[in-house]
Structure 1
């Protein structure tokens, strides 16, 4: 598959986090809106049989990758770094600069930075609760039950913040240029919850072919989005993951169908590590045949994730000693 990088600049707050699996869902709706339902059905052929037309990562701070799902002591040879009094400080260092990717993984804790480091000691991203009101048209006021005021948590980005999204595209069926246009459409109309009132807007700043990095003699692969590794033959003794349950819901017209919710799915979160390899894509496509949704039987969920290769031999030995 062909590898791309897209850089976006947020223009508003986001009521839905920019995760690879939810972004893929909105991409499908954007494709259907632009080219019709038949075009979407064609692209999804074989999706749950290991043949995705496109796989998307989460959105990361531009120029950074997520820290892997490993204990702190495995990411630093200095025992002082993982002392209890410093643990809170270091656990916030979630982002690895891309230029440090080829450094040994057991030294990454020294290179990782926090969100405030990225933004120059200001908050790179803030979560705020916004109060919404639903007006009863009969009384002209709010009230109880469905008309009671409620809050929605929104993510606000530092002015000038840029985010990188990585994509793998099956160029025999799809193209990076098509994906670029669909991302522009999503950015203009808004991504996720409350897009209709201006949330989730972004501008596409950059699109380019980009080879995802890989360390020499890689033996383990890190997911850049939530993925579904179940039953795919990964070695559990050599893999490290954090469980993540997705309580999904439909978008676009299906969101107001009366049955907007999908069945929950269990995923491995971004930064999870799986062996053996080599692989370009981790995980599998989920859904189809009514397994994911009763309301829309053909619904699928991105259980795939783009992957980067890591050499974890020394890290694995350290974990085994502990």
Structure 2
């Protein structure tokens, strides 16, 4: 399937981890800025009806994943490694423990060699797109430069708004820390510095081809100027944005789907997963999301994480649903994004 890919090349560090709900929230803000509040209300309503409302239609996007570009064009893409691999590695490790036990203490070194032979290292969270297409889910990748996302805590002072100086309490300055993220190319082999300069690293997200791509492009151009996430007024979250088509070849005879976004299932989808046969390809991790609304927290919501794998349903349409996350202080309801953008896989079940 051909997706529309939005490439975000950082001009600075950025605060939030760019999950699908964070990107979608920024898109909603941009839609209101560009087209007005009525258009945004129609956009939110279109998720409930599944159809175009006014000039707005539903949008399905992924979370953001790292990529490498060379000489200004995307060169290598990364996607989540299927979580089925975690269960596979756990089984293999149990087998390795038995192997070492059978060999006795003198067989420990042989056991370590066997572990290396089986490549029983914990897999990295991302996989090169080509390896995913070919089913080489345990591959470490062959590209000579990989993107590295680094999370660094930054120290800040709390400012006294009356005096403009650092706030003092108990004769001490008040410090706090926030996480900032940087993404940069990380060479896997020795490489001349001049050659390294040809490469840059960034993050990208996908939009389903049935989405209103024209509106999304306009909004992303606005966000390119304003930034995404916290501390935008101090220059954080600024990106140069490129928009390209990206073809992802999916399996012709799939029996499973892998999630590329934070996914909040419908009740019917949960019932179907619970009723799936025991040998079905079903492996997932969950996470709780609870953002801020003005001075208080939103309602906590549970999601399936990116890389979770689910059996192929009878209805192969868009999965998941948006959810009510409470009421804002200004009186309107808060909508949290939960649509699951999926790609098809064929998972061995024997």
Q: Is the 8 A contact 2:157 2:166 kept in 1?
A: no
Max Rg structure: 2
| 1:248 corresponds to which of 291, 294, 299 | 291
Deviation beyond 4 Å, 4+ runs, structure 1: 49-52, 79-89
| Alpha-carbon distance between aligned partners in 2 of 1:6 and 1:245, rounded to the nearest angstrom | 26
CA distance in 2, matches of 1:76, 1:180: 43
Post-superposition offset of 1:75: 7.0
1:286 Cα shift? 1.0
C-alpha displacement at 1:249, in angstroms?
2.4
Partner of 1:102: 133
Query: How far does residue 38 in structure 1 lie from its aligned partner after superposition?
Result: 0.4
Are residues 82 and 293 of structure 1, via their aligned partners in 2, closer, same or farther at CA, if it must alter by over 3 Å? Answer: farther
Matched with 2:345 is: 310
CA distance, structure 2, for counterparts of residue 229 and residue 20 of structure 1: 15
> What's the counterpart of residue 258 of structure 2?
222
Q: Which moved more, 1:136-145 or 1:234-243?
A: 136-145
Structure 1: stretches of 5+ with no match in the other structure: 318-322
**Preserved contact between residue 287 and residue 305 of structure 2 (Cα < 8 Å):** yes
Which shows bigger deviation, 191-200 or 226-235?
226-235
Match of 2:152 among 122, 128, 133: 128
1:198 matched to 2:249? The reply is: no
In structure 1, what is the Cα distance between the partners aligned to 2:262 and 2:213?
22
1:166 is aligned to 2:206: yes
Alpha-carbon distance in 1 for matches of 2:176, 2:144: 31
CA-CA distance at 1:177 after TM superposition: 2.2
Conserved 8 A contact 1:242-1:272: yes
Match of 1:320 in 2: none
Residue 308 of structure 1 aligns to a residue in which SS? strand
Q: Give the TM-score normalised by structure 2.
A: 0.74
- Higher share in strand: 2
Describe the SS at the equivalent of 1:232.
Answer: helix
Where 2:88 maps in the other structure, the secondary structure is helix
CA–CA distance in 2 between the matches of 1:148 and 1:131?
A: 10
**1:91: which partner in 2?**
122
Aligned in 2, Cα 1:103/1:131: closer, same or farther, shift over 3 Å? Answer: same
Matched, 1:235 2:264: no
* Aligned partners of 1:247 and 1:263 also within 8 Å: yes
What is the CA-CA distance between 1:284 and the residue it aligns to? 1.1
2 CA distance for matches of 1:75 and 1:213?
26
Aligned residues: 293
In structure 1, distance between residues paired with 2:36 and 2:322: 22
3-state SS in 1 of match to 2:17 = coil
RMSD: 3.2
Return closer, same or farther for 1:232/1:11 CA change in 2, 3 Å cut-off: farther
Note the alpha carbon deviations across 1:39-86, whole angstroms, 9 max, x for none. 111112132455561121111122111101224463799x58985765
Alignment of 1:224-303 (within 5 A): 224-233=260-269, 234-236=272-274, 237=276, 238=280, 239-250=282-293, 255=294, 258-259=295-296, 261-277=297-313, 279-287=316-324, 292-295=326-329, 296-303=331-338
1:148 aligned residue (150, 165, 174): 174
Q: Which moved more, 1:28-37 or 1:232-241?
A: 232-241
135 and 300 in structure 1: CA distance in 2 versus 1, 3 angstrom threshold: same
Q: Equivalent residue for 1:13?
A: 13
